[in-house]
Amino acid sequence: MNVRKALERVLLQVQKPARYTGGELGSIVKDPAKVDVRFAFCFPDLYEVGMSHLGMKILYSLMNEREDIWCERVFAPGDDLERLMREHRIPLFGLESLDAVTDFDFIGFTLQYELSFTAILNMLDLAGLPVRSKDRTGLSPLVVAGGPCACNPEPISAFIDLFILGEGEEVNLELIDLYKIAKREGWDKQTFLRRAARIGGIYVPSLYDVSYREDGTIEAVTPREGAPARVLKRIVRDFDGVYYPKDFVVPFTETVHDRAMVEVLRGCIRGCRFCQAGFLYRPLREKRHATLDRQAHDLCDHTGYDEVSLTSLSTSDYSELEPLLNDMLSWTERDAVNIALPSLRVDNFSRELVERIAAVRKSSLTFAPEAGTQRLRDVINKNVSEEEVLRTCRTAFEGGYSNVKLYFMMGLPTETDEDVAGIIRLAQKVVDMFYRLPDRPKGRGVSVTVSVACFVPKPFTPFEFEPQDTREELRRKQRILLDTVKSKKITVKYHDSPTSFLEAVLARGDRRLCPVVEYAWRLGSKLDGWNDFFSMERWEDAAEVCGVDFSFYANRRRSYGEVMPWDHLDYGVTKAYLIREHERALAAQVTPHCRINCSGCGANKLVGGACFGK
């Protein structure tokens, strides 16, 4: 089928057709006859979300650097185009070639959040492929997936042929090289999967048997056919020297993050106990400031972006931030380029830093105290005091800002009603402080936005043993939150609890959820992260039909001895460490960050020694 022509007949009937036609500056078009491997990099969400994702940009450029590989981008179509695609039998296609992805060698999904799982099934179906791995019998297309949710991929293990654990820069190419041999020597799919399972970081779920106890918990996960008992995630040891693109695909339409980005560090030293990323991406590795300055400058020159962001889990922990800003300001001011510094932690946001960013351009300020009382902040190891929050907001107000946004979570372990009310009390203190300031910004009132998410316990965190609050309990706490607000200067926004509940189910789910995911998709679930598409009833129907109790996954406390569905996957941090941290959390004991004291998480084995110094 000529996808290009078929698309032309329908594209003017859909919103934002530019999402589906490719051809952007920086997109790579090759001659299909001159490449050995075609890779469809699928982001299971809409174009404007996927195009904001840094990991996709890195791996896209990395693969396309090789002459024998052509990597293309694929996103989930909007509802309007999907209907037309199904009506006119237009298959899912790559944005670069507009060819159907069915004939590609690899279909690779990035797993950024649990609620995108049904979008994966929907995209496979749009491609004209059976969603179940066992029903796709040929060697190609191989359906692979990586990204943070690969740390517990069991709820989608029936659909994906293999998972890539950890960082993809090296292992993706190793996998493709093995595939080239397989193609040349005519291996069948099973042979390829068995061989791929020997590559470090590759997890082939079909090579593991899972048995269950009578109480529904897992008895054992047993590898077969030579697969390793534990799969260790991959990391890049030489992070300063790792490949980084000089060019990005520059979208025509507006996307969520439409700017140049450099990645200053990977990992995080903080150890906030609720934060999965803080454990998954360990150990901490930084790039040198000269490297980053060059990469940022190259990107701005090649893309024409007028904003560059310094991204990481905690950019203010970057040890060379001052020299980096000095380097960059020498050209960014001249070229009218704005430097964006996301995710700055409250506790080291200095006045000088505020002024230096403000010198380029003002944007709004956001801080994340995460919990309303000191006791609860100690439980979650968010080492930020009330004085620090107030001091930071004061610095921001004195620097000319009058809007601040504070992020919190509700339903954290050990949380009391007092802790919930404390969220609003803290926001009120910020308001009161503003009006006591002699040199506050004139002519404008203060606005404090309190954004409250529901806590979701995640694998590989010290809270992986914890139950999530029930939906009733979360609704009750939301009422306490709203009842405590006494000022018009405070706006409360909270995240809907049904999606957080489903996220909790899927995050710690096991293989018995595969039929539920498939059934929910067949009932119409796709793009569950978007409110217009989400329906809890569909998921509840699916659970009932499949005989699954969601509260078993979301609201149950696990014992330290329980076999977790992800215990055979190794992300560096040990279970013994997670248990230690969980016990400290219950005792409201904080753990100092990695630069002060090594808490022995285990991730340093991945770099073969101490993370710092020595």
Partner 1 sequence: MGNELFKMTVRVFYRKLGRIKYISHLDMVRCISRALKRSGLPVWHTLGFHPHVYLTFALPLALGYESTCESMDFRLTGELPMEEVVERLNAVLPEGVRCYRAAPAGQKPEAIAWADYEITQEFDGMTAEAAAEKFAAWRNRETVPVVKKGKKGERVIDAKPHFSVREERAAGDTLVFTMRAAAGNTLNLNPTLLLDAFAAEEGVRADWMRVVRTAVLDQDGNPFE
- Binding site residues, partner 1, CB under 8 A: 4-5, 8-9, 11-12, 17-18, 20-25, 27, 29, 98, 250, 252-253, 301-306, 334-336, 361
- Retrieve residue 280's tokens: 């998954």
Say which residue the tokens 């797993």 belong to.
Answer: 111
User: Cis peptide before 141, with omega less than 30 degrees from 0?
Assistant: yes
> How far apart are the C-alpha atoms of 605 and 347, rounded to whole Å?
30
SS3 of 206-260: the string is: HHEEEEECCCCCEEEEEECCCCCCCEECECCCCCCCCCCCCCCCECCCCCCCCCE
What is the Cα–Cα distance from 108 to 101, expressed in whole angstroms?
11
571, 247 Cβ separation under 8 angstroms? no
- Nearest distance in Å: CB 42, partner 1: 20
Least Å distance, CB 7 to partner 1, is 9
Q: How far apart are CA 118 and CA 506, in angstroms?
A: 11
Shortest Cβ 451–partner 1 spacing (Å): 27
Q: How far is the CB of 335 from partner 1 (least distance, A)?
A: 8
Q: What are the start-end ranges of the H helices in 337-444?
A: 351-358, 374-379, 386-398, 417-436
DSSP class per residue in 250-310? B-SS--SS-SEEEE-EES-SS--TT-HHHHHTPSPEE--HHHHHHHHHHHHHHH--SEEEE
d(CA 93, CA 3) in angstroms, rounded, equals 8
Minimum separation from the CB atom of position 101 to partner 1 (A): 18
Report the residue number, 25 or 290, with the smaller CB distance to partner 1: 25
Cα distance between residue 402 and residue 441, in whole Å: 7
Please report how close the Cβ of residue 21 comes to partner 1 at its closest, in angstroms: 4
Distance separating the N- and C-terminal Cα atoms of the chain: 60
Question: What is the b/e burial string over 499-515, where b = at least 16 CB atoms within 10 angstroms of the residue's CB?
Answer: bbbbbbbbbbbbbbbbb
Identify which of residues 159 and 248 has a Cβ nearer to partner 1 in the complex.
248
Q: Residue 374 in contact with residue 412, Cβ under 8 Å? A: no
Q: Which is nearer to partner 1, 236 or 308 (CB)?
A: 308
Q: Can you tell me the distance from the alpha carbon of 117 to that of 282, in angstroms, rounded to the nearest whole number?
A: 25
Nearest to 340 by CA among 367, 322, 363: 363
Residue 445 identity (one-letter amino acid): G
CB 95 within 8 A of CB 20: yes
Q: In the complex, what is the shortest distance from the CB of residue 526 to partner 1, in angstroms, rounded to a whole number? A: 24
Nearer to partner 1, 144 or 328 (CB): 328
Min dist. Cβ of residue 15 to partner 1 (A):
11
Phi, psi of 172 (to 5 degrees): -60, -40
Least Å distance between CB 355 and partner 1? 17
Closer Cβ to partner 1, 220 or 336, answer by number: 336
Min. distance of Cβ 90 from partner 1 in angstroms?
A: 14
Residue number with CB closer to partner 1 (97 or 484): 97
Q: How far is the CB of 344 from partner 1 (least distance, A)?
A: 23
Name the token pair of 506. Answer: 């899927």
Is residue 260 a contact partner of residue 296, using CB atoms and an 8 Å limit?
Answer: yes
Of residues 18 and 588, the one with the C-beta less far from partner 1: 18
Q: Which is nearer to partner 1, 23 or 216 (CB)?
A: 23
**Least CB distance from residue 81 to partner 1, whole Å?**
12
With CA atoms as reference, report the closest residue to 484 among 402, 418, 431. 418
In whole angstroms, how close is the CB of 82 to partner 1 at the nearest point? 17
Nearer to partner 1, 303 or 591 (CB): 303
Cβ nearer to partner 1, comparing 32 with 216: 32
Q: What is the dihedral of CA 472, 478, 484, 488, to 10 degrees?
A: -150
Give the Cα separation of 87 and 101 in Å (integer): 18
> Of the two residues 80 and 417, which places its CB atom closer to partner 1 in the complex?
80
Nearer to partner 1, 11 or 453 (CB): 11
Q: Which of 479, 473, 493 is nearest to 412 (CA)?
A: 473
In the complex with partner 1, the residue whose CB is nearer, 8 or 80, is 8
CB 3 within 8 A of CB 100: yes
Question: Considering the complex, what minimum distance in angstroms separates the CB of residue 388 from partner 1?
Answer: 32
- Backbone phi, psi, residue 39, to 5°: -120, 120
| Residue number with CB closer to partner 1 (39 or 305) | 305
Q: For strand 231-232 and strand 569-570, is the pairing parallel, antiparallel, or unpaired?
A: parallel
**Of residues 88 and 493, the one with the C-beta less far from partner 1:** 88
Query: CA 513, CA 515: separation in Å to the nearest integer?
Result: 6
Q: How far is the CB of 394 from partner 1 (least distance, A)?
A: 25
